[in-house]
C-alpha cells in the first residue's frame, strides 16, 4: 500500500501528479484546504491518495520528493516550488481497510450512476431484473449495467426505446464472461500426463475422472491407469471397478504415500495417470493438508478442483478459497444439468484467477462432459 500526500494549488494539478506517480488506479482518500496565515494566494490543497502495492517494509517511511530548493517545515516535509509529496508505507490491516473502502466506493458509484442515468431506460431495467433473477448480486448487476450503458446506450445515437433487447443481452453476456479464464482442454503428450481430482464430497470427482479416462481412450487411443486414494469409503473401490472394467482401464487402490510413489514410478510409461481422492469439506483443514501432502508427492501435474454448480455463492467462494491451498490448475464444474441459474458461480469465478476446465451436465458416462469454452458457457450466463 502506497499512500501519497500532495500539497498543491489546485485539484487538477494534484490529480495530474497523483495519476503520474501512483497510476490511474489510485484512490483519493481525502482532500482539505490549508490556508496560509500570511498570504491567501499561498493557500494550498492537501490531497491524500493511495494505491495497492506490495509492502516491502512495514515501518513508516517518509520520502519527500520534488524539492528543488525546498526547505524543511515543522512536520519534516519539504516544500518545493510546485508541490510537496509525502509517501508512507502502511501495514496490512490499514491496506485492507482502505481497499474495502475503495470497493465500497466503486459499488456505490455504480449504484448512483444507475439511479441517475439509467433508471428510466426500460431495456436496462429489464436486463437488471434478469441479472438478479439469475442470482447475480445487486452490486454485480449495477456494475454490469453501468458498463453496458457506457458501451451501448450512452455512446450510441439509438433511442432507448429502440434498443434491441436481444443484442443487449448478448452484450451483457460478453461483459459477464469477460473476466472468466478458460483452461485449454488436455491433450496427449510425449510424456506421462498426471491428473488429480479433488473437492467436496459427492461433487462428481470419480464420475468425471471416469468420463475423461474413457474419452481419452476413445480420442487419443490413450493407455491410462487410474489410482485411487479413496479407499476407506464404503463402495468407493466398487464404483471405480465397475466403470474401469467396462472401459478396460486398470485401476489400483493406493493406501499410503509410499504406495503412491511406487505406483507413479511403475506407471510412468503410461499416457495418463488419473488420481481419484476422497471428498472432503472445504472447512476440514486437516484433510485438505493431508491431501496437499499427497499431491505434493506427485509434483507438477494437472490438479482439478471438482465442484457442483448447485451451491450458494458464499459456500462456492469459501470452497475456492480453502482449496486454493492445493494450487488447482483449474475447476471442473459439475451438475450443470441440475442448476436453474448459474449467476452465483459465474460471478465468483469472474472475481478469481482460477480457470474453468470442463463442465459436466449429466451422469451419463462418458458423454456428459464438455471442455470449457465461452460460447458454451454463454447460454448459462443469462436466460
Whichever of 206 and 244 has its CB closer to ligand GTP, that residue is 206
Whichever of 206 and 244 has its CB closer to Mg ion, that residue is 206
Whichever of 279 and 343 has its CB closer to Mg ion, that residue is 279
CA distance 261 to 206: 21
Is 242 among the residues that bind ligand GTP (CB under 6 A)?
Answer: no
Q: Which does 207 bind (CB under 5 to 8 A by kind): ligand GTP, Mg ion, none?
A: ligand GTP
CA distance 195 to 375: 25
Q: Which residue is nearest to ligand GTP (CB)?
A: 279
Whichever of 7 and 332 has its CB closer to ligand GTP, that residue is 332
Residue 33 near residue 78 (C-beta atoms within 8 A): no
**Of 185, 133, 121, which Cα lies nearest the Cα of 159?**
121
User: Which of 135, 146, 230, 271: binder of ligand GTP (CB under 6 A)?
Assistant: 230
Whichever of 100 and 338 has its CB closer to ligand GTP, that residue is 338
Whichever of 193 and 360 has its CB closer to ligand GTP, that residue is 360
CA distance 55 to 57: 6
Q: How far is the CB of 293 from Mg ion (least distance, A)?
A: 19
Is 206 among the residues that bind Mg ion (CB under 5 A)?
Answer: yes
Considering only the stretches 136-144, 213-221, 255-263, 357-365, report the one whose residues sit in contact with ligand GTP under the rule CB under 6 A: 357-365
Is 193 among the residues that bind Mg ion (CB under 5 A)?
Answer: no
Q: How far is the CB of 275 from ligand GTP (least distance, A)?
A: 12
User: Which of 362, 370, 376, 378: binder of ligand GTP (CB under 6 A)?
Assistant: 362
Residue 148 near residue 140 (C-beta atoms within 8 A): no
Q: How far is the CB of 365 from ligand GTP (least distance, A)?
A: 8
Considering only the stretches 63-71, 108-116, 161-169, 206-214, report the one whose residues sit in contact with Mg ion under the rule CB under 5 A: 206-214
Residue 186 near residue 369 (C-beta atoms within 8 A): no
- Which residues contribute to the site for ligand GTP (CB under 6 A)? 201-207, 230, 279, 334-335, 337-338, 360-363, 368
Amino acid at each position: 500500500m502506497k499512500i501519497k500526500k500532495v500539497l498543491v494549488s489546485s485539484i487538477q494539478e494534484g490529480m495530474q501528479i497523483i495519476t503520474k506517480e501512483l497510476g490511474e488506479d489510485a484512490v483519493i482518500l481525502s482532500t482539505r484546504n490549508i490556508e496560509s496565515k500570511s498570504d491567501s494566494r499561498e493557500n494550498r490543497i492537501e490531497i491524500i491518495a493511495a494505491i495497492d502495492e506490495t509492502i516491502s517494509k512495514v515501518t513508516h517511511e517518509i520520502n519527500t520528493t520534488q524539492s528543488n530548493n525546498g526547505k524543511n517545515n515543522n512536520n519534516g516535509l519539504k516544500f518545493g516550488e510546485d508541490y510537496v509529496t509525502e509517501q508512507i508505507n502502511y501495514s496490512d490491516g490499514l491496506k485492507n481497510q482502505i481497499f474495502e473502502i475503495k470497493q465500497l466506493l466503486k459499488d456505490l458509484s455504480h449504484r448512483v450512476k444507475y439511479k441517475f442515468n439509467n433508471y428510466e431506460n426500460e431495456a436496462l431495467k429489464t436486463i437488471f431484473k434478469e441479472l438478479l433473477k439469475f442470482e447475480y448480486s445487486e452490486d454485480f448487476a449495477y456494475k454490469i449495467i453501468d458498463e453496458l450503458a457506457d458501451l451501448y446506450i450512452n455512446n450510441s445515437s439509438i433511442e432507448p426505446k429502440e434498443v434491441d433487447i436481444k443484442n443487449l443481452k448478448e452484450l451483457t453476456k460478453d461483459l459477464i464472461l469477460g473476466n472468466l479464464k478458460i483452461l485449454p482442454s488436455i491433450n496427449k503428450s510425449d510424456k506421462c500426463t498426471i491428473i488429480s481430482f479433488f473437492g467436496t464430497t459427492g461433487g462428481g470427482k470419480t464420475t468425471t475422472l471416469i468420463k475423461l479416462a474413457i474419452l481419452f481412450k476413445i480420442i487419443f487411443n490413450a493407455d491410462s491407469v487410474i489410482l485411487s486414494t479413496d479407499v476407506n469409503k464404503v463402495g468407493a473401490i466398487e464404483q471405480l471397478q465397475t466403470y474401469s472394467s467396462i472401459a478396460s482401464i486398470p485401476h489400483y487402490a493406493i493406501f499410503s504415500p509410499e504406495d503412491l510413489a511406487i505406483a507413479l514410478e511403475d506407471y510412468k510409461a503410461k499416457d495418463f495417470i488419473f488420481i481419484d481422492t476422497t471428498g472432503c469439506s472445504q472447512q476440514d483443514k486437516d484433510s485438505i493438508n493431508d491431501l496437499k501432502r499427497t499431491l505434493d508427492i506427485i509434483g507438477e501435474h494437472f490438479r482439478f478442483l471438482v465442484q457442483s454448480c448447485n451451491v450458494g455463492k458464499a459456500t462456492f467462494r469459501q470452497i475456492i478459497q480453502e482449496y486454493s491451498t492445493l494450487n488447482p490448475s483449474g475447476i471442473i464444474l459439475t451438475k450443470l444439468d441440475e442448476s436453474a441459474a448459474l449467476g452465483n458461480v459465474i460471478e465468483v469465478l469472474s472475481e478469481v484467477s482460477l480457470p474453468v476446465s470442463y463442465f459436466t451436465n449429466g451422469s451419463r458416462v462418458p458423454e456428459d462432459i464438455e471442455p470449457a469454452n465461452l460460447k458454451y458457457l454463454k447460454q448459462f450466463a443469462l436466460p
